[in-house]
Amino acid sequence: MSVDIATIKRVATLSRIHVEPAALPGLAQDINAILGWIEQLSEVDTTGVEPMAGGGATALRWRDDVVTDGGQAEAVLANAPDREGEYFGVPKVVE
């Protein structure tokens, strides 16, 4: 598959991307190189390989549901612009 400059202009227009006319030949060459590499992938023998959608059928490891990062109010609120005790101070928005 080969992409010409007219196709690059059309795609740029449809995607609302401004491309300088001087950059069009280089962009067409880069896209054609990418498409050539993709065509090489079709030559790979994939017989016996199951198609997958996502990360695979591996089960995630379970962990204990415990709080591991609490009791650090001073560290959390160290850069707070306003604080009230161990809480962030915020302006009143409801009267």
24-77 tens-digit pLDDT? 999 999 999 999 999 999 889 989 888 777 766 677 888 888 877 777 888 888
Q: Is 28 a domain residue? A: yes
Does a structural domain hold residue 86? no
Angle of CA points 20, 22, 28, to nearest 5°: 90
* Alpha-carbon gap, residue 23 to 17, rounded angstroms: 12
Residue 13 in any domain: the answer is yes
Range of the domain at 9: 5-41
Rg of the chain on CA atoms, in Å: 28
Q: Three-state SS for 83?
A: strand
Task: Specify if 34 maps to a domain.
Answer: yes
How many domains does the structure of the chain reveal? 1
Is the residue at 18 inside a domain?
Answer: yes
> What are the phi and psi torsion angles at 84 (to 5°)?
-130, 95
Residue 87 counted as domain residue = no
pLDDT at 37: 93
The verdict on residue 48 lying in a domain is: no
pTM above 0.95, yes or no: no
Tokens for 37, please give them: 């590499």
